Amino acid sequence: MQQLEPLRADPHNTGVFLDFDGTLSPVVPDPDAAAIVAGARELLEDLARRYAIVAFISGRGAKDLRTRVGATGPRYFGLYGAEEATASGLEQSPLAPRWRQSAYELAAGAQDLIDAQRLVGCEVELKDLAVSVHFRATGSEEPPNSLMEWARTAAVAEGFRSGIGRKVIELRPEMVSKADTFQRLALEAGVNNVLVAGDDSADVEMMRRASQLIRGVVVRVGMRSAEEPEGLAEQADVQVASPAELVATLQHLL
């Protein structure tokens, strides 16, 4: 693939930054059932040996992410970068205790609203330092208005931000984002070129940041789907239709 050739030719100055859910794992109704696509684990280990940095930046918890991917070599940043899972354990931001309490309060508030209004098909997932409110099971393309309005107000009150992902409302600390985490890692690694792959609105932000920050070659890979967020098609240099197709694309980096 022609777009990837400059990256392949300069691996020591190139970073690879990846999402997990919907990117290297198919989207499934139950987040606990998500599994990495066949062939990806071995490929990731090969890439990590060759490139300056290979990192996952996910909304999923970092320990869970590391377990599901199972590859040695990549770095694993969860909850949008609020934590990193390493071989020696979990490293979290010093602000984690405060964020944890806020996440607990937000999860409880969301559940109270769902119960009070009988919002069938909505489910709250407490992710330690963040909260996801899933509405995929409602059968609607949009979340209930009352739930979205509550999320906007409640998030601000707790110093969090709210956003819409693929059939999910995400609540995370205001100070944490995939784009900011990407920037920190890219600068630490000193890379001039990057590949960024993702499927969600937070990944679109990361792609935009990559275009603004990186002086060399930027290749942005978006996942094509009926649920793709606004701006993804415009930001992506390459679009693929499935995690398996992404693996085939990444193979060109070797």
Share of the chain above pLDDT 90, in %: 92
Instruction: Give pLDDT, residue 4.
Output: 96
Q: Which fold has domain 96-173?
A: Alpha-Beta Plaits (3.30.70)
Q: Using the predicted structure, report yes or no on whether residue 166 has a pLDDT greater than 90.
A: no
Locate the DSSP E strands across the chain.
Answer: 14-18, 53-57, 75-78, 83-86, 89-92, 123-126, 131-134, 160-165, 168-173, 193-198, 218-223, 238-240
Contacts of 114 (CB under 8 A, 6+ apart): 122, 123, 124, 133, 147
Task: Report yes or no: 150 and 110 within 8 Å, Cβ to Cβ.
Answer: yes
Helices 243-250 and 40-50 cross at an angle (nearest 10°) of 30
Domain ranges of the chain: 2-92+176-253, 96-173
113-142 tens-digit pLDDT: 999 999 999 999 999 999 999 999 998 989
Please identify every residue annotated as catalytic: 19
Question: Is residue 249 classed as helix, strand or coil in its secondary structure?
Answer: helix
CA 23 – CA 245 distance, rounded (Å): 10
On the CB side of 76, CA atoms within 13 Å amount to 24
Q: CATH topology for 2-92+176-253?
A: Rossmann fold (3.40.50)
Mean pLDDT for the chain? 95
Is-contact 201 165, C-beta < 8 A? yes
Average pLDDT over residues 240-249: 97
Helix (H) or strand (E) holding 101: helix 96-117
Q: Which residues contact 212 (CB under 8 A, 6 or more apart)?
A: none
Residue 27 has pLDDT above 90, yes or no: no
